[in-house]
Structure 1
Amino acid sequence: MSTAVAVTADEHQQQQLKKGIAEFYDESSGIWENIWGEHMHHGFYDTDAVVELSDHRSAQIRMVEEALLFASVPDDPAKKPRSIVDVGCGIGGSSRYLARKYGAECHGITLSPVQAERAQALAAAQGLADKVSFQVADALNQPFPDGKFDLVWSMESGEHMPDKLKFVSELARVAAPGATIIIVTWCHRDLSPNEESLRPEEEKILNKICSSFYLPAWCSTADYVKLLESLSLQDIKAADWSGNVAPFWPAVIKTALSWKGITSLLRSGWKTIRGAMVMPLMIEGFKKDVIKFSIITCRKPE
């Protein structure tokens, strides 16, 4: 009896999390697009580079290119991806970029109806309506058949997933034999062999961020690698790109504190304001090495 209740409570918690994520992005995506454009993710910068405000949008494009390069996604017309899924697609920036780059068909999924609708509108405006499509769907229960995609793309959505094993299992399920899987996500630092958990002061920083950004418990890059190994995926590689994203959060805060940013925030609603208030904690987390910006890639066996 108690087990049934526990499962129900867990399911309820996951439903509340999904609802919070959808509402957060319904509310905040318009502001983000207005200030930062169509890519709702970090930029990739040279370490210790002096960054101008105008550099950030090109850094977001560079993030996409660096991820493809790290995963050795081929440009060769005979081997390039033809079908792509963008898991946690935002307003479809990556989907449209990848569709154009490879001439591929791309399907994006998001929990936010506002994002899905805006992504589709942008695709139509950019002449890509026949190449990309977007829908509201759960990454933990994707509405696609097994083995459908030869590139599985998740750019900064893994941190929202309450069940990391289910998340990577779904990425692997929808991947075709030989397909590349790319996960770019926020992690906490890897634990040393004699540690069982993060230190209390580290947990405190992450918990504050979680409650404002609708994140479940964090995991480490090493945890992701173990999960991928448990699914017998091949060519597993991971890297810490924290140094390459260092200029991002200070720039986000700077834009949030601009007149345009402040007026947009005040119009948006409490969820977005609450998210803005914990941005300095992201910087603190990176500086204290508790937060890591990680890329993890692998290939599904042929």
Structure 2
Amino acid sequence: MKTILIPLLLVTLVEAWTTEPLKVRPSPSSSTSLNMGLRTTVKRVRDSVLNKERSREDLKIGIAGFYDRSSKLWEDVWGEHMHHGYYIPENRTDHQQAQIDLIDEVLDWAGAKEAKSVVDVGCGIGGSSRHIARRYGATAKGITLSPYQANRGNELAKEQGLEDSCSFQVADALDMPFDDNSFDLVWSLESGEHMPDKQKFVNELYRVATPGGRVIIVTWCHRDLEKGESALAKKEEKLLARINRAYYLPRWCSVQDYVDLLEAKGAVGIKREDWSYIIAPFWRAVIKSSLNLKSVVGLSKSGFSTIRGAYAMLLMLRGFDRGLIKFGLITFTKPEEKKSEEE
């Protein structure tokens, strides 16, 4: 145990110093600044070892930095789609096509037959946005906390001749820079898990959707609680907390938690499903792909937070295998506005 713990502590120490945002950077000429910097580093090491939950502001900064550093490596190895794949049959080997198929299968499952205006909430480098724009002949706007991802998304849109229909910007999904009733398709693929306030997240998705517009949320969740349970088991919470530190995630929720929030909002036609079995081969494929020379070299250049994220893939796999982590799908429509009696 000690032989594993010591290198992990060293990685945590270096990661805390080099990749976490520091409020104060020590100045060589200032002992006070140096002491403050050391205290900040020690605190972050302690928080990391104890898997302490981050504040919303620290999450925002950490998420942006994590994806700024890791997105190029992912694109080099896996292409422009930064999400799970659709594995039916489960022995598929064309993983990039499996990722594209996941988008189409989710849209079909949700009954999204057409769209004119789309927002991709947590867009990565825009793979889903561009695919959906092509499928429907729609315009798409994507938001991300990562400046690298937004810039790369716009570059790829231009390269693919989609600069007039697809655009990407840095924005917070909990405070979107869009008017009410702006999009007839609101798409969130594997970004909900990053949201520290699920109520506000749902409220924003609901707000920007047009009346009658469709909202689709695909996200990592923990299992629904069984009857008589008030919380997850301590060992389950511990595993999720370790994953949270690596991927800059807040506390998890269940699919049922989302359904409860949506029912309270008055959402129409709420539909949910668990696709954990469909995406199950994904993590093993990612882990296998990380063992080639190109991936190892890229990982070594991308920083300690990315390295720690790669290690956390094993934790994700463990969570899936135990039935703790679920790949949840939720869709609904925003009610049509009621016409006045005079109309």
> Which category of TM-score, normalised to the shorter sequence, fits these structures?
over 0.9
For 1:35, give the aligned amino acid: V
How many angstroms does 1:13 deviate by?
Answer: 1.6
User: Which structure has the larger Rg over C-alpha atoms?
Assistant: 2
1:24 aligns with 2:34: no
Instruction: Give how far 1:51 is off.
Output: 2.9
Give the TM-score normalised by the residue count of structure 2.
0.82
Q: Tell me the SS of whatever aligns to 1:208.
A: helix
Which letter does structure 1 place at the counterpart of 2:75?
E
Could you tell me the percent identity over the aligned residues? 58
Q: How does 1:1-302 map to 2 (within 5 A)?
A: 13-46=55-88, 49-52=90-93, 55-74=94-113, 80-302=114-336
Aligned to 2:55, the other structure's residue is in SS state helix
What secondary structure sits across from 1:295 in the alignment?
strand
- CA distance in 2: counterparts of 1:196 and 1:44, whole angstroms: 33
Q: Which amino acid aligns with 1:298?
A: F
Q: Secondary structure at the match of 2:73?
A: helix
Q: Using the alignment, how far apart are the partners of 1:149 and 1:41 within structure 2? A: 22
Structure 1 counterpart of 2:76, one-letter code: N
Number of residue pairs matched? 283
Matches of 1:228 and 1:29, distance apart in 2: 32
Q: Which of the pair has the greater relative contact order for Cα pairs under 8 Å at 6+ separation?
A: 1
Q: CA deviation at 1:277?
A: 0.8
- Name stretches of at least 5 consecutive residues in structure 1 with no aligned partner: 1-11, 75-79
Cα deviation for residue 97 of structure 1 reads 0.4
Structure 2 counterpart of 1:174, one-letter code: V
RMSD: 0.9
In 1, the alpha carbon distance for the partners of 2:313 and 2:138 equals: 35
| Mapped partners of 1:62, 1:168: distance in 2 | 26
Amino acid corresponding to residue 39 of structure 1 in structure 2 = H
Cα deviation, 1:209-236, whole Å, max 9, x if unaligned, reads 0000000000000001001111100000
Cα shift at 1:46: 1.4
Q: Which runs of 5+ in 2 are unaligned?
A: 1-53, 337-343
Residues in 1 aligned to 2:322 and 2:238: alpha-carbon distance in whole angstroms:
13
Cα distance between partner residues in 2 of 1:63 and 1:40: 11
